């Protein structure tokens, strides 16, 4: 019966402050837009001042949005960025979206590449989460959402370092979820398949260079593993993040939510 369901809330995140790392483009920008439309105040974080400024201007009509220049793999940069972001309001929602992928066969994966993938994708998630957890647990509310990848759930050839880092993100997600479960803080991971972003654009260029295929053929190859027959759209990932960020998603904790059209079971 209709009376058994809570009323629809038009802006379910009203009054909450969200930080989105890697917020200058792609999935991060889509997430920021979704959170703003749901009523949250949003702080974008990233390394590229120009990209962040462009996104801030593009999103300003939707609500209160600012940005901080942050290298998520650098402890001091993270500490400074979050200190500035929390000067006006504590962080209620953290979306660890910043990430990077580089390709190489494992036999030609240098130690520098390996460490770079772990630093950005895994250590960055740890450093940012560590900054917000004490206040979240003290206040009895928080949402941490880690944008991992289907690479956190399976293996892909030629991206061993990236897969290892994203598997680590999922392990970190589950460990934090156990620690915070009774303190009003949930920690979950969203695992997109190949998504229409700059990362996929670079993958397309690599396929073209190595195989001589056209851009359309390269994109079709990436989409072939998805039962939908297409790439995932950033807005589809953002919709899942929004669901996990809501106040009434308190029972969803320690999960890896695949956004991949059925690529993985």
Q: What are phi and psi of 191, to 5 degrees?
A: -120, 90
- Name every residue whose Cβ is closer than 8 Å to that of residue 212 and which is 6 or more positions away in sequence: none
Interval 58-95: pLDDT, tens: 999 999 999 999 999 999 999 999 999 999 899 999 99
In 3D space, the residue among 23, 80, 18 whose CA is nearest the CA of residue 51 turns out to be 23
Of the listed 156, 158, 162, 194, which one is catalytic? Answer: 162
- Across the range 226-248, mean pLDDT stands at 94
Is 81 in contact with 47 (CB distance < 8 Å)? Answer: no
Scan for tokens 């949005």, then name that residue: 65
In the 8-state DSSP scheme, what is residue 104? B
Least confident of 52-66, 177-191, 203-217: 203-217
Instruction: Tell me if residue 162 is catalytic.
Output: yes
Quote the pTM value.
0.91
Three-class DSSP category at 234 = helix
- Across the range 188-217, mean pLDDT stands at 81
Three-class DSSP category at 186 = strand
| Domains of the chain and CATH, by start | 15-193+233-254 (3.40.50.720), 194-231 (no CATH)
């Amino acid at each position: 019966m209709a009376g058994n369901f809570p009323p629809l809330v038009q802006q379910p995140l009203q009054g909450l402050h969200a930080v989105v790392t890697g917020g200058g483009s792609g999935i991060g920008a889509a997430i920021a837009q979704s959170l703003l439309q749901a009523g949250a105040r949003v702080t974008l974080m990233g390394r590229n001042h120009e990209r962040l400024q462009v996104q801030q201007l593009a999103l300003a009509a939707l609500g209160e949005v600012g940005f901080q220049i942050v290298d998520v793999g650098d402890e001091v940069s993270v500490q400074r960025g979050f200190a500035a972001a929390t000067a006006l309001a504590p962080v209620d929602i953290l979306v660890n979206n910043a990430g990077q992928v580089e390709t190489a066969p494992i036999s030609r994966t240098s130690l520098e590449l390996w460490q770079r993938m772990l630093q950005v994708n895994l250590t960055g998630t740890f450093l940012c989460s560590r900054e917000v957890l004490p206040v979240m647990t003290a206040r009895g509310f928080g949402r941490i959402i880690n944008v991992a990848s289907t690479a956190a759930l399976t293996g892909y050839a030629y991206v061993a370092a990236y897969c290892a880092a994203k598997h680590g993100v999922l392990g970190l997600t589950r460990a934090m979820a156990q620690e915070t479960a009774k303190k009003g803080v949930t920690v979950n991971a969203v695992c997109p398949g190949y998504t229409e972003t700059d990362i996929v654009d670079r993958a397309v260029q690599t396929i073209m260079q190595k195989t001589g295929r056209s851009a359309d053929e390269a994109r079709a190859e990436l989409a072939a593993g998805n039962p939908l027959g297409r790439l995932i759209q950033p807005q589809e990932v953002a919709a899942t993040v929004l669901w996990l960020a809501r106040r009434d998603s308190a029972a969803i904790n320690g999960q890896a939510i695949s956004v991949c059209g059925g690529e993985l079971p």
